[in-house]
Amino acid sequence: MGCCGAKDQGKAAASPGVGAAAEGEDSDSDCGWYTPYSSDDDKISPSAVELRKIWSILQAEQHGAAEWPEFSDLWDHMKQADYSELLGSPADMDTATCPLKWFCPNGAAALVRLDRLEGHPYTGLFQGAEHALIRLSSGLKPAAEIPAPARWALFGKLKKAHLFPMVALKGLRDHAHSGNLLLGGSKTGQAETDFFAHSVCTNMTERLPLPLRPALGPLRKESKFPLSLGVSHFAAICQDGTHEPRARFPWCVLFRPCPGVERPPARRDFVEQLVEIPAGTPLYEVFACPSPKDLLDARALERIGLIRTVSQFIPCRSNSRLVFKHQRKEEDFELERGWEQQLGEEHAMAGWELFEGQIAQGLYRDFG
């Protein structure tokens, strides 16, 4: 399980949406993707209305400061954290006042759409999500921003890490809770300042430096698969609120930065790069590994979708109330009974790097 946006305390409201926009927030501000509100809101789908409310709140929050927890405090927190609320609540916005997000505190958010590639077998929001938003963040404070005297305590790749890329996608649904996908890059960080240097994946390897291994303890209390996130809820309900009679979903999902797309140059502060990305930019190609037994077969990998921005990015700082539900991998295995028996040691070592290498071979099945 990842920890995109985990906060120190407070509960999120367990309702399908956020309710009315906060007082003083401009519900008519231009989102650049459909006509502003009129008195005829019933002509707009409930999922579009709900997304508009969330976006208005994010716009009001975007001027918060870029605060990062200190590594020493974060380390103490990781060893005793409680992730049950993050896994249990389906809310989109946190209604409590929380002082700080421990993980992924700073990033940027944009309205996006997930377009399916015709013919793939997966259901629910994998068939398309027009009313969606994405948050790109760094899981931890970049090492370059840590004062030199304190940097000595870091080790290995952590010393050179500029980013710890994390991606969260939220698709709104009519009269139902949103569907969320959580994906991560390198746990020990990447040296590149370009947020789009590498892919991100719903499965992260359990290969960790010895000093970091105790941090998995609280996660293992919640799941046997602490660094693998479920995707079945994303496939369970369509955007129009229709419940699938049988959810079809892949074992693992990968977002690859769209090749050949001109993006703003990388910056020391990755948020400055993200906010310059214009609306209409192809952001990620969506790939799927159908089942655990397909892990090492590059021909089994599938290209199933495309994520495109429909607004510009805005800063989404540590004061943001936006939250993403994390799903235990066990919930996927309850629906696909044979999958857990297919797991071997290699599956705990599978993540973005393995799948990125498979894509480079050009053998994947393309539904495009």
Identify whether the C-beta of residue 216 lies closer than 8 Å to the C-beta of residue 320.
Answer: no
Segment-wise mean pLDDT, segments of 10 residues, the chain, 368 residues:
47 42 39 38 83 94 76 68 72 71 84 97 98 91 60 57 89 97 85 91 78 64 86 98 97 96 88 95 98 97 98 90 92 96 92 95 95
Instruction: Identify the pLDDT of residue 96.
Output: 65
Q: How far is CA 106 from CA 5, 132, 158, 356, in A?
A: 9, 20, 18, 26
How many angstroms separate the CA atoms of 324 and 94, rounded? 10
Instruction: Decide: helix, strand or coil at residue 52.
Output: helix
List residues bridging with 255 in a β-sheet: 200, 286
Identify whether the C-beta of residue 141 lies closer than 8 Å to the C-beta of residue 66.
Answer: no
Cα-based torsion angle of the residue sequence 108, 109, 110, 112 in order, rounded to the nearest 10 degrees: 120
Tell me whether residue 259 is exposed, middle or buried, using C-beta atoms within 10 angstroms of its C-beta: 0 to 12, 13 to 18, 19 or more. Answer: exposed
Q: How far is CA 32 from CA 174, 261, 313, in A?
A: 21, 21, 12
How many angstroms separate the CA atoms of 336 and 30, rounded? 43
C-alpha 349 chain-centroid distance? 20
Neighbours of 11 (CB within 10 A): 14
C-alpha 357 chain-centroid distance? 21
Tell me whether residue 368 is exposed, middle or buried, using C-beta atoms within 10 angstroms of its C-beta: 0 to 12, 13 to 18, 19 or more. Answer: exposed
Which one-letter amino acid corresponds to residue 318?
Answer: S
pTM of the full structure: 0.85
Instruction: Identify the pLDDT of residue 30.
Output: 40
Q: How far is CA 337 from CA 250, 332, 340, in A?
A: 13, 9, 7
